[in-house]
Structure 1
Amino acid sequence: MSEMVLHGYWRSSAAYRVRIALNLKGIGYRQVGHDLRAGEQRDPAYLAIAPHGLVPALEHEGQILIESPAILEWIEAKWPEPPLLPDTPDAAAKVRTIGALIGCDIHPLNNLRILTRLRDQFDASNPQVKDWIAHWIGEGFGALEQLIARDGGVHAFGDTPTLADCYLVPQVYNAERYNVDLGAFPRILAAADAARSLPAFAAAHPDLQPDFG
C-alpha cells in the first residue's frame, strides 16, 4: 500500500476528525500541514489538490479525497474493522445524525473563514465574535445533549466509539478553546471525556501534531 498523506492544519477540527478515525482503524499516515492563519490553503500547489482551498484532503493510491464527511465514510467502507458505524440502518442513521448536526450545523458557522469575514467585513469586535461562537455552539449543543441522552452510553452513541465521537471530540475542543460555558451539557462532556481517554483520540489532539505552533 502506498503512503497515505493527510493534508491538514493542527487546529482544524475537520482534520482532527479524520486523524481520530485513522487512529481508531490503526491506519498509518503522513501529515502535511497548511497554516490556515497564513493563507497557505490558497497556495496554487494546494489548490491543485483541494480546489475549494480547505482542509483536510487525503491522498491515497492515486486518489485525492476532500471534505471530512466523505473521507470518514470512505475510511469506514475501506477498513470496516473496527466498525465506526453500527450494523443496523436505524442505528447508523442516528450516528450520522450526530455527525451532521456537528459537521453541518455547528462547525461551519464558527469556521476560520466565517470569523475572519465577521471581523474584516462587518467590523465585529473580538467580544462579538466570541459571542457569535458561543451562541451557535450553545444552539447546537442543546440539541446534541438530547440526542446523547436518548442513545448515548459510555460514548456519544452506545458504548463503543463511533463516527459520532470523531465529530464530537473536536467540537468540544473548539468550545473549550473559546471558553464556552458547557455546564449545561453534562452528557456531551461525559461522552467527550470517555473518548479522550482512549489512545487513538489522545494521539489526534491538536497539540501533538507535527505542525503545532
Structure 2
Amino acid sequence: MLELYHHGSSACAAKVRFALAEKELDWTGHYVDILKGEQFDPAYLRINPKAVVPALVHDGEVIPESTVICEYLEDAFPEAPRLFPEGAVERARARLWTKAVDEELHPACSALTYALSHRHMILRNGAGSFDDFLQGAGAEGRAARELKWKWIHDGLAAPGAADKIRLYDSYLKKMETALERHPWLTGDEFSIADVALAPYLNRLAALSCDGMWRDGRLPRVEAWFARIQARPTFYPAFMEWMPDELAEQMRANGAKSWPEVKRRLEI
C-alpha cells in the first residue's frame, strides 16, 4: 500500500504525484496543510522529523525526500511505466536535472513563493514574533528561518530575492538550450527530468509569472510546458489537489508582483 503525505501548493509533493500518475500507481493521500502548520503535528513529525512534505509510506516503510521517493518508485515498481531513460548518457542527463532542482531550483522556488504570495497569507493570519516563527521550524536551521522571515516581511525587497529570480530564469534558459534538438529534456522520450522540472514551471504559472517564457521569449520552453499540460496525468497531479481559494490567492498575489519581476529580469 502506498500512502502519500502531501499538500496542494508543495512543488515537491506535486513532483511525486506526477511520478505516481505517470507510473500508473494507486495511492492513498493524507493532506498535510503546511500553511496551517500541520507539518509540525507530533504525529506527522514521527513520520518526517524534518516537518516537510512529501513523505511516502510503503507497507510501513517511510521514504522521505521527493527525488528519493521518485527513484524508489522506479526501483520498487520496475514493471510499471519507467521514468528513467534506458541509455547511460540519457540517465546521467536526467540525474543532472534532478540534482539541479534539489540544490538550486527548489530553494529559488521557495523564496519566490514566499516573497510573491505566501507572505500575504501569513501576515494576514498573524506571523507573531520571530521567536514564535523560529519555534515552528522543525529541523530548519536558524539562518534558513531568518531568511524566510525576511521573505515574508520584505517580499522582493528582501536580500537575495532578486538573485533567486535571476537563478530561476537561468534554468529556464538552460531548458531552452536542452530542448533545441529534442522534445523532452533528456532526449526523445519523456523522463524523470521532465517530471522534476514540471512543478517549477507550474509554480511560476500559478504565480502569474509565465511571462518568463511566453510571447516568444523562450518558445521551446513554452512548447514543452504545453506538452506537459496536455498529458492526461497533469490535471490529477497538479490541479486537482490545489484548493481553489489558495490558487486564486497565489494568482492574484503573483500578478501584483509580476511588474517587479519583469523589471528585475529586464523583460
TM class, shorter-chain normalised? Answer: 0.7 to 0.9
- Of residues 159, 166, 172 in structure 2, which corresponds to 1:135? 166
Superposed displacement of residue 209, structure 1:
1.5
Q: Please say if residues 9 and 211 of structure 1, whose CA atoms lie closer than 8 Å, have aligned partners that are also in contact.
A: no
* TM score, norm. by length of structure 2: 0.70
Superposed displacement of residue 33, structure 1:
1.1
- Give the 3 Å change call, closer, same or farther, for CA 210–192 of structure 1 in structure 2: closer
Match in the other structure for 1:15:
13
Match in the other structure for 1:45:
43
7-16 vs 182-191, which deviates more? 182-191
Match in the other structure for 1:83:
82
The share of aligned pairs that are identical, in percent, is 25
Match in the other structure for 2:193:
164
Q: Deviations over 1:174-206 (max 9, x none)?
A: 11223332243222222221122111122111x
Q: Please say if residues 57 and 66 of structure 1, whose CA atoms lie closer than 8 Å, have aligned partners that are also in contact.
A: yes
For the residues of structure 2 that align with 1:72 and 1:190, how far apart are their CA atoms?
25
Q: Deviations over 1:116-173 (max 9, x none)?
A: 64462477533436745532311222223222335x32x3333332101111211101
- Give the 3 Å change call, closer, same or farther, for CA 159–202 of structure 1 in structure 2: farther
Gaps of 5+ in 2: 120-145, 246-267
Partner SS, residue 158 of structure 1: coil
Gaps of 5+ in 1: none
Q: Please say if residues 7 and 33 of structure 1, whose CA atoms lie closer than 8 Å, have aligned partners that are also in contact.
A: yes
Q: Please say if residues 176 and 218 of structure 2, whose CA atoms lie closer than 8 Å, have aligned partners that are also in contact.
A: yes
Match in the other structure for 1:98:
97
Query: Rg larger in 1 or in 2?
Result: 2
For the residues of structure 1 that align with 2:84 and 2:219, how far apart are their CA atoms?
24
Superposed displacement of residue 212, structure 1:
6.1
Amino acid at match of 1:51: P
Match in the other structure for 1:201:
234
What is the aligned residue count?
Answer: 208
Amino acid at match of 1:72: C
Partner SS, residue 199 of structure 1: coil
For the residues of structure 2 that align with 1:159 and 1:177, how far apart are their CA atoms?
27
103-112 vs 21-30, which deviates more? 103-112
